Amino acid sequence: LTIEAAEILLVRLPLKFRFETSFGVQTEKLVPLLVLHGGGLQGVSEGTMEWAPMYREETVAGGLHLLREVFLPRVLGKTFANPEALNAALGSFRGNRMARAMVEMAAWDLWARTLDTPLGALLGGHKTEVEVGVSLGIQPDEAATVEMVRRHVEQGYRRIKLKIKPGWDLQPVRATREAFPGIRLTVDANSAYTLADTGRLRALDDFDLTYIEQPLAWDDLVDHATLQGRVRTPLCLDESVASAQDARKGLAIGAGGVINIKVARVGGHAEARRVHDVAQAFGAPVWCGGMLESGVGRAHNIHLSTLPGFTLPGDTSSASRYWETDVIEEPLEAVDGLMTVPQGPGTGVTLNRDFVGRVSELYEEHRA
């Protein structure tokens, strides 16, 4: 695995829907892309940090700085035994896992292409299709929520996740549960509550939710354990699991019963697999989360989801829900809630150079 050159691109994609969460409203996605070149092949990854530190602490600008000044200089012109050896070259740096994951994930794609193997198979996955659900943003009222849910239930999505925030939680959940008594339903608060809201969160126990995702602070495990002692519904950890060690600590103290694994949030595929393995040891189901990825990140997510512990439907819904034009050539479309794993080596998808070249706000080539 020799890294001969790297390209950084930055694409701004308009979202087809207004996506409101407890931390804000998104109408477009700023997508940094990294291409690593070696042996006549290329590996591609996507940064999933937001433009501002709204989800976790990382930002697009911070990630680009780290790529240019810190991470790429340590891998360019070098040869590594495999992607884990490459990641070890970045191992002494703290945090900033989404930025590091850009290098690690592109290296996995490149390595899998070098070995002429699909990425999922290389990670140890066997599935040829993965179950997916949708994450639906906060709507103006109950009627709009139910209508939105209906459209996606009709498309066959295997799980509906509603974004909630203080003041907009029991209402959409009650309306949705009444309209669709049998669906797999979850909520995601993106850290909008505190233990002072325990009563309101406990009231969600009446609606047969599969889990309540990240109700408390983004950097907390301890309060989640206290809350889990007071609600029946399993808590699902998203923001507050940045590593396999976090997963171990969280599950050991009972901070939740489910983990949302986002490959970039934990620093790449190898760490994501370690989180998966820790969860399996605790008997905790995991699923693959999403960050409104373009086709590049979406394809990585699909491959990760082929690992056996991913027993709950993920967030990797059809790319056409999000974008008029994607940055890859292949469509990534779920049919009846099943996403087919792209065939071919690596992620199995190809950058649409034409489109990306036309819209990219940034183009840099880096060499040793």
Binding positions for ligand OSB, rule: CB under 6 A = 55, 135, 188, 190, 238, 289-292, 315, 317
Nearer to Mg ion, 44 or 160 (CB): 160
Considering only 238, 271, 293, 315, the residue that binds Mg ion (CB under 5 A) is: 238
Structure tokens at 268: 């790449």
Q: Is residue 50 near Mg ion by the rule CB under 5 A? A: no
Q: Which amino acid is at 105?
A: M
**Stretch of 5-13, 21-29, 122-130, 207-215 lying at the interface with Mg ion (CB under 5 A):** 207-215
List helix spans (H) across the chain: 60-66, 83-88, 97-114, 119-123, 142-154, 170-179, 198-203, 222-228, 244-252, 269-282, 295-304, 353-359
Catalytic-labelled residue, pool 29, 127, 161, 163 = 163
In the DSSP assignment, the letter for residue 205 is G
Q: Which residues on neighbouring strands pair with residue 366, listed in sequence order?
A: 6
- C-alpha 290/C-alpha 316 separation (Å) is 6
> Hey, which residues between 273 and 312 contact Mg ion (CB under 5 A)?
none
| Nearest residue (CB) to ligand OSB, 135 versus 240 | 135
Provide the minimum distance between the beta carbon of 41 and ligand OSB in the complex, in angstroms, as a whole number: 28
- Helix, strand, coil shares of the chain as percentages rounded to 5? 35, 25, 40
Stretch that binds Mg ion, among 3-11, 52-60, 164-172, 188-196 (CB under 5 A): 188-196
Is 16 one of the annotated active-site residues of the chain?
A: no
What single-letter DSSP state applies at residue 9? E
Residue nearest to ligand OSB (CB): 290
Q: Which residue has the tokens 């993965």?
A: 130
CB 305 → Mg ion: shortest distance, Å? 16
> Which of the choices Mg ion, ligand OSB, none does residue 290 contact, using the CB cut-off of 5 to 8 A by kind?
ligand OSB
Q: Residue 135's binding partner, choosing from Mg ion, ligand OSB, none, with beta-carbon cut-off 5 to 8 A by kind?
A: ligand OSB
Q: Closest CB to Mg ion belongs to which residue?
A: 238
Of 29, 127, 161, 262, the catalytic one is 262
Torsion of CA 17, 46, 353, 132, to 10 degrees: -50
- Which of 58, 238 has the CB closer to Mg ion? 238
Name the nearest CA neighbour of 60 among 23, 92, 98: 98
For ligand OSB, the closer of residues 127 and 161 by Cβ is: 161
| CB 114, min distance to Mg ion, A | 33
Check if 163 is active-site: yes
Contact 46, 40 (CB under 8 A): no
Closest CA to 201 of 215, 211, 214, 191: 215
Q: Which does 58 bind (CB under 5 to 8 A by kind): Mg ion, ligand OSB, none?
A: none
* Listed residue (37, 50, 34, 46) closest to 264, CA to CA: 46
Partner whose footprint covers residue 38, from Mg ion, ligand OSB, none (CB < 5 to 8 Å by kind): none
Please check whether residue 265 is in contact with residue 48, taking contact to mean a CB–CB distance below 8 angstroms: yes
- Which residues form the catalytic set? 163, 262
The binding site for Mg ion (CB under 5 A) comprises 188, 213, 238
